[in-house]
Amino acid sequence: MSYLSISNVSKIFGGVVAVEDFNLEVEKGEFISFLGPSGCGKTTTLRMIAGFELPTSGEVVLDSENITYKSPNERNVGMVFQSYALFPNMTVAQNIGFGLQVRKTPADEIQTTVKEMLGLIHLEKHAEKYPYQLSGGQQQRVALARALAINPRVLLLDEPLSALDAKIRVELRQEIRRIQQKMGITTIYVTHDQEEALSLSNRIVVMSQGRMEQVGTPSEIYNHPTTEFVASFVGQLNLLPVSEVDLKNGVCKLNGQLVRFDHSEPRQISDKPRLAIRPEEFQFGQAEGRNLIQGHVEVVMFLGAVVRLRVRIGEVLVSVDLFNERNMTLPRVGDEAVVNFPPHACWIM
């Protein structure tokens, strides 16, 4: 049996299904992210693991112990909140030592752990400061140290970086991963930021409308999405209407132009079949053995590392991402464009 097991868990709030039949097995030391848009049920699921919400059905088993109906203060689960939730009346050291003090740990042991935690988050000099004297990033580090000080069985993080600015977010994200790997602690991370989920996790659970859409490694989620939602939520995706789809031979027609696609994986297609392809799979110009389509450049956006184009092919607009090169000549609006892409990079939905 796995370390953390969530079986058939559902949660209904006044007739509204927040989480539906959630099943997940987590191994010890794994870093799992719950990824999805607002209201998809990811935080509710996390709160059920923490004990702040009771499941309507199903069970949560942690380290062979059924904790479904255990109160939050008896679970030994660490939690980090989006709003930091540091106790304003306590210093940094007192905040970190609070959980140990509650457990009636001897004073010298608390002092040692607090010191160790302060070292881990590189805030040794701020031990006697109050939360309001720290920046947002520092406060969230303290919150992380406070959750880790009690040596929890699982660490739960509820959008911990959402309130921080972009630069601090990236720094702290690396910090979280470093600390998680160093301590080998099983971690569940809730986020709506795909970049965070992709860069941090061993596995990602993509959720939508209370349901699990797909569970997989970051690479599986990005490169082999199993549903249209996952494909469009994680990364950018072009969904181009096609006709005359031949699933057996992997060919279809896009605006009258013949296109070959990946037909190695069996897929269900809708009544209105569409060709799915990510913008970064395109290249400009002709190339042998690749699909070629012709159109006109309608929008050019220079984004630094990437140049994003919108190319009109008949009735549809296609997003094309080109990696920027120093000597690159940017296409102009109205230019005729021939773009190519490999057959294995696109699939039918």
Partner 1 sequence: MVEAMKRSVFWSWFWMFIGTLYFILPLTSTFLFSLRAKKDVLSFLAYERIFSDINFWRTFTFSLIVGFFTILVSILLVVPTAYWIRLRLPKLRGMIEFLTMLPFVIPAIVLVFGLIRVFSGAPFFLTNTYAGTNVLLVAAYVVLALPYMFRSVDAGLGAIDVRSLTEAAQSLGASWPTILFKVIFPNLRVAILGGAFLTLATVIGEFTIATFLVGIKAFGPYMSLIGQNKTYEASSLTIISFLLTWSFMGLIQLFNRGKSDSALAGAH
Tell me which of 23, 57, 66, 83 binds partner 1, using CB under 8 A: 83
Q: Closer to partner 1 at the Cβ: 153 or 260?
A: 153
Order the strands of the 336-341 sheet from edge to edge. 283-284, 336-341, 291-302, 306-313, 316-323
Q: From residue 271 to residue 300, what is the string marking binding to partner 1 with x (rule CB under 8 A)?
A: ------------------------------
**Judged by CB under 8 A, does residue 200 bind partner 1?**
no
Tell me which of 85, 183, 239, 300 binds partner 1, using CB under 8 A: 85
Tell me which of 34, 98, 261, 282 binds partner 1, using CB under 8 A: 98
Question: What's the closest the beta carbon of residue 52 comes to partner 1, in angstroms?
Answer: 6
Contact segment (CB under 8 A) with partner 1 among 1-9, 69-77, 165-173, 215-223 equals 69-77
**Judged by CB under 8 A, does residue 52 bind partner 1?**
yes
Q: Are strands 283-284 and 336-341 parallel, antiparallel or unpaired?
A: antiparallel
Q: Are strands 316-323 and 57-62 parallel, antiparallel or unpaired?
A: unpaired
Instruction: Round to whole Å and give the CA distance between 72 and 254.
Output: 55
Q: Which of 111, 126, 117, 125 is closest to 182 using CA atoms?
A: 117
Instruction: Show Cβ contacts of residue 154 under 8 Å, excluding neighbours closer than 6 positions.
Output: 4, 49, 62, 77, 78, 185, 186, 187, 188
Tokens of 30: 């794994």
Q: Which of 265, 233, 243 is closest to 347 using CA atoms?
A: 265
Tell me which of 3, 81, 222, 284 binds partner 1, using CB under 8 A: 81
Q: How many residues bind partner 1 (CB under 8 A)?
A: 32
> Which positions lie near partner 1, rule CB under 8 A?
50-52, 71-79, 81, 83, 85-89, 98-99, 102-103, 130-133, 143, 146-147, 150, 156
